[in-house]
């Protein structure tokens, strides 16, 4: 069947039954045609949904400039309002609290303070309550209210405004807390600056006697960085129950079976069941059938961190594969390993469609040479004669961290409108997003059009490698573009294969200057968002889904992104002692569903990896600025469209049944006539 040309550059040849390459420009124009173009509070967990939506707008729920009519503010607040999620009981508004007696007295004796307290999640407890704390808002000036610090959040509420002003910050998003001097705020002489991981900073001012009595700064630091203070992350205390068990979303055996594995060339191996082969890999791996365990152990000894080449994805027709690994330990003396060379030859031989293997090294060539001098390196074409080595020239984690720091400087708290485009360009953030997308397109095209197997690695195989394999798989396999499939993709390529979430994010750790921190997973989600913009009907999930994932990357409310690898999660009993993010999401799928979704089954997506087609994700990076927020609540509109689509789909199904009934009735009236046949009705909304 014919196939459209790829928009991103590589030529796409014919072949492949029922698989089509879709250009980015075609997604908006002809989603319904399926042809490639040339160019909730009522739910059981509705309270949590509202909280997540408030997290998206948190400090700006009422931070609208004075020129906005109060009527508009009230309407917007109702959309983002966070309800109390527990019943009133025990005379303390239902809060299980470990607050000091004087804080309890403050609640009981001060009606205003009671109104300004924080609603709590199951398992959450109050540590500090301080009244008359001033939040120094960069958009509307100082706001006085009650500060509540729990073991999960910092919550400020002022009922002096209508609607009430709320700042709700999960402690997990805090990167550092510093004391600052405060002037011209009356008796509030103590100040704190809070630097967050989600593109905002907060400033508070309060009275010296409150600091002396409550030790606000010390309590905030202790609770914001529990790991550094010998305390557990809040995810281990969170007790909310959901209708769906998110820990059952990903089963590696089921996912590999979906891909048609095992087969005659590939087997499912449990050689790493005790994590002895590689302590950062999952227990279950897919490796070539003919490879013996002894040889696999020798390959592991030759690859950095023991991360041997293992299968991530296999093409359903050509059997071309994406395999991932770490760099070989070639070193300055060009060390060789015959088992590793034979192993890659076996991977190539497993695909009868091609007599070549493409090795995509994500690194810059110069950096790979530096790594080689230190004992690492890359595959030489003399040692691997049937392999072609391609460097994708993607920068390292330190460059990405610095790029995000520059981006934060230009988006918060003020934006220079006159230099906006040049300022964004100077951060190089979109250029790095472009490089990732371009690399993934090259990988996907080699698999789909070239019918050639590929090996992907960087240095250790858990940062850029995960970005590239996951993005390429998203382009190649429509299953991963569903909500469930995308969850499986994250669980598989990121979580089980050992992306170091704890190290890159710094969960509960006060070392904000740690050189191992880097926005690697954020970049991946940004790339996915860019794809949803180019193919707005190809993804089952909406923007809120992606933002919710990023918010809980930092929040430490769920166990999904904790620890650095599968072995650590097993040791910490994460799946039994914490709640999965997918439990929450899958309990209210309507909140995260794209109403324009059309299942592009067996279609390959080639996004345009050009700066002309990329844009800054304003709804994420600049969401804390009220002047950049849409005046109309987009999420609510999408929910209404989803309801309309459901209603129309039901009408279509009713009409189909009616047409089928009439057809049967008509056929029986005519008897058995060879000149008439019923044609089924095929309609899609």
Burial class of residue 38 in the structure, from the number of CB atoms within 10 Å of its CB (0-12 exposed, 13-18 middle, 19+ buried): exposed
Q: Is 202 helix (H, G, I), strand (E, B) or coil?
A: strand
Q: SS3 breakdown of the chain: % helix, strand, coil, rounded to 5?
A: 45, 15, 40
- Look-up of token digits 């960069």: 138
Structure tokens belonging to residue 636: 């609510």
Structure tokens belonging to residue 106: 């403050």
Planar angle of CA 518, 521, 527, nearest 5 degrees? 120
Which residue out of 196, 325, 458, 563 is catalytically annotated?
A: 458
- Distances in whole angstroms, Cα of residue 579 to Cα of each of 49, 177, 243, 247, 557: 15, 28, 12, 8, 8
- Are the beta carbons of 286 and 427 closer than 8 angstroms? no
Structure tokens belonging to residue 206: 């309060």
d(CA 525, CA 465): 15
458 is catalytic: yes
In SS3 terms, 383-443 reads as CCCCEEEEECCCCCHHHHHHHHHHHHHHHCCCCCHHHHHHHHHHHCHHHHHHHHHHHHHHH
- Distances in whole angstroms, Cα of residue 107 to Cα of each of 77, 116, 128, 147, 446: 25, 9, 12, 12, 64
Question: How far apart are the two ends of the chain, measured CA to CA in Å?
Answer: 25
Structure tokens belonging to residue 602: 């067996």
Residues serving a catalytic function are 458
């Amino acid at each position: 069947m014919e196939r459209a040309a790829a928009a991103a550059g590589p030529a796409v040849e014919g072949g492949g039954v029922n698989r089509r390459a879709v250009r980015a420009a075609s997604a908006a124009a002809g989603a319904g045609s399926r042809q490639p173009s040339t160019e909730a509070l009522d739910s059981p967990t509705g309270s949590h949904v509202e909280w997540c939506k408030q997290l998206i707008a948190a400090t700006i729920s009422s931070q609208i400039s004075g020129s906005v009519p109060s009527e508009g503010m009230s309407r917007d607040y109702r959309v983002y309002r966070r309800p109390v999620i527990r019943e009133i009981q025990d005379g303390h508004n239902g809060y299980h609290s470990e607050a000091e007696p004087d804080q309890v007295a403050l609640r009981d004796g001060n009606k205003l303070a009671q109104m300004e307290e924080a609603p709590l999640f199951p398992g959450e407890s109050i540590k500090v309550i301080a009244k008359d704390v001033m939040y120094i808002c960069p958009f509307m000036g100082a706001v006085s209210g009650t500060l509540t610090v729990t073991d999960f959040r910092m919550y400020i509420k002022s009922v002096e405004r209508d609607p009430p002003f709320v700042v709700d910050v999960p402690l997990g998003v805090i990167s550092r807390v510093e004391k600052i001097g405060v002037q011209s705020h009356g008796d509030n002489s103590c100040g704190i600056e809070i630097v967050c991981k989600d593109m905002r900073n907060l400033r508070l001012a309060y009275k010296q006697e409150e600091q002396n009595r409550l030790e606000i700064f010390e309590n905030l630091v202790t609770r914001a960085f529990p790991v550094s203070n010998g305390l557990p992350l809040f995810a281990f205390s969170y007790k909310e129950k959901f209708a769906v068990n998110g820990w059952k979303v990903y089963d590696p055996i089921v996912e590999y079976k979906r891909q048609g594995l095992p087969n005659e060339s590939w087997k499912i191996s449990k050689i790493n069941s005790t994590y002895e082969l590689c302590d950062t890999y999952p227990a279950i791996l897919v490796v070539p059938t003919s490879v013996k365990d002894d040889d696999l152990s020798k390959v592991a000894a030759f690859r950095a961190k023991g991360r041997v080449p293992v299968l991530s994805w296999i093409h359903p027709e050509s059997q071309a594969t994406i395999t991932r690994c770490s760099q070989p330990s070639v070193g300055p003396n060009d060390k060789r390993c015959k088992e590793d060379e034979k192993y890659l030859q076996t991977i190539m031989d497993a695909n009868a469609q091609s007599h070549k293997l493409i090795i995509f090294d994500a690194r810059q060539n110069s950096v790979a040479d530096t790594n080689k001098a230190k004992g690492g390196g890359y595959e030489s074409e003399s040692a691997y004669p049937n392999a072609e080595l391609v460097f994708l020239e993607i920068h390292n984690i330190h460059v990405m961290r610095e790029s995000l720091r520059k981006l934060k400087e230009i988006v918060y708290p003020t934006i220079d409108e006159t230099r906006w485009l040049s300022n964004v360009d100077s951060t190089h953030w979109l250029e790095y997003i472009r490089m990732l997308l371009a690399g993934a397109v090259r990988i996907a095209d080699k698999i789909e059009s070239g019918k050639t197997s590929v090996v992907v690695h960087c240095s250790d195989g858990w940062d850029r490698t995960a970005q590239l394999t996951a993005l390429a798989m998203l382009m190649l396999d429509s299953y991963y573009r569903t909500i469930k499939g995308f969850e499986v993709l994250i669980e598989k390529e990121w979580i089980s294969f050992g992306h170091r979430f704890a190290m890159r994010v710094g969960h509960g750790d006060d070392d904000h200057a740690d050189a191992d921190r880097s926005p690697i997973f954020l970049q991946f989600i940004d790339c996915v968002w860019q794809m949803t913009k180019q193919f707005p009907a190809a993804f089952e999930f909406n923007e809120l889904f992606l933002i919710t994932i990023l918010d809980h990357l930092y929040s430490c409310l769920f166990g999904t992104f904790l620890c650095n690898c599968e072995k650590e999660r097993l040791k910490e009993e994460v799946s039994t002692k914490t709640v999965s993010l997918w439990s929450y999401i899958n309990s209210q799928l309507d909140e995260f569903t794209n109403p324009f979704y059309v299942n592009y089954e067996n279609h390959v997506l080639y996004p345009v990896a050009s700066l002309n087609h990329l844009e800054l994700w304003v709804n994420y990076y600049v969401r804390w600025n009220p002047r950049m927020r849409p005046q109309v609540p987009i999420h609510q509109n999408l929910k209404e469209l989803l309801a309309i689509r459901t209603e129309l789909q039901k009408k279509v199904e009713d009409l189909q049944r009616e047409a089928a009934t009439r057809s049967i009735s008509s056929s029986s009236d005519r008897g058995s006539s060879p000149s008439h046949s019923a044609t089924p009705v095929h309609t899609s909304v």
